[in-house]
Amino acid sequence: MKDVINVKWAGDMAFEASIDGYSLLLDAKPEVGGSNAGPRPKPLLMTSLAGCTGMDVVSILKKMKVELSSFNIRVEGTLTEEHPKQFTAMHVIYEFTGHNLPLDKIKHAIELSQDKYCGVSATLKKAIPITYEITINEW
Amino acid sequence: MKDVINVKWAGDMAFEASIDGYSLLLDAKPEVGGSNAGPRPKPLLMTSLAGCTGMDVVSILKKMKVELSSFNIRVEGTLTEEHPKQFTAMHVIYEFTGHNLPLDKIKHAIELSQDKYCGVSATLKKAIPITYEITINEW
């Protein structure tokens, strides 16, 4: 299976990406010649991981009839200080809010995503350790 | 060094990402329960690579006084057919347009990005092979 994306230089450090019919402007910080007109590439990589595992988890929990009132994912990436400034680890914090949330089902949904379904996580895991934690807010 | 992003579930398969102060909606295809309201996570990973190396290359070529009239980057990702549908390779096509473009400097700028500066490439290279080619359109 193949997937293709395109980015077109938009002057200075800006690039306009075409992804699945959507347009997204990427840009760098002013300190390195950018105009801060869009997100940076590295946080985008972490966003890709969050979106991938997030979609798995909501889809699995829906099949398990688990109702969430809100669901948030934070990804913390650790990078080297030297060039190339690359990721050495990522930590995913899954935060669920709801009433009578079943921890076992939630844990299982995350395990299925991390071990079986999330292709971004499977790709990145070959390069760096990916860890996670779960927070549940009952109301 | 740490970097952090956040995504918040926006119903069904949609997630609203907060990246560097920007908001980006991710969504899945209708076939898997999404509404196609934004790009998918996997192409976003390839976009992260394209933006990272693209910013390096324009910044290095600027220092080398190379003037481009346009610059485009396409990334082709190969994925497994089985779950987790993960990347097995990425191929980057750098396409430059300009007048009297110096191939040696362009090659060198790309090598510097791929080998020394691009942290996304350095991260992904630990997982999968990343190859590239250069196209130059003279006018």
pLDDT tens digits for B105-128? Answer: 999 999 999 999 999 999 999 999
Instruction: Using an 8 Å CB-CB cutoff, list chain B residues near A15.
Output: 50-51, 54-55, 73
- Please provide the distance, in angstroms rounded to a whole number, between the alpha carbons at the two ends of chain B: 44
- pLDDT (tens place) for every residue of chain A, 139 residues total: 999 999 999 999 999 999 989 999 999 999 999 999 999 999 999 999 999 999 999 999 999 999 999 999 999 999 999 999 999 999 999 999 999 999 999 999 999 999 999 999 999 999 999 999 999 999 8
Name the minimum distance, in Å, from the CA of B133 to any CA of chain A. Answer: 14
B39–chain A Cβ distance below 8 A for any pair: yes
Q: Please tell me the distance from the alpha carbon of residue A87 to that of residue B3, in angstroms, as a whole number.
A: 9
Instruction: Using an 8 Å CB-CB cutoff, list chain B residues near A83.
Output: 116-117, 119
Name the minimum distance, in Å, from the CA of A113 to any CA of chain B. Answer: 9
* pLDDT tens sequence across B38-70: 999 999 999 999 999 999 999 999 999 999 999
Q: How many CA atoms lie within 13 A of B14 on its CB side?
A: 12
Across the interface, which of B3, B7, B119 has its CB nearest the CB of A51?
B7
ipTM greater than cut 0.85: yes
Instruction: Using an 8 Å CB-CB cutoff, list chain B residues near A8.
Output: 70-73
Q: Please tell me the distance from the alpha carbon of residue A134 to that of residue B8, in angstroms, as a whole number.
A: 15
Percent of chain B with pLDDT over 90: 98
pTM (2 d.p.)? 0.97
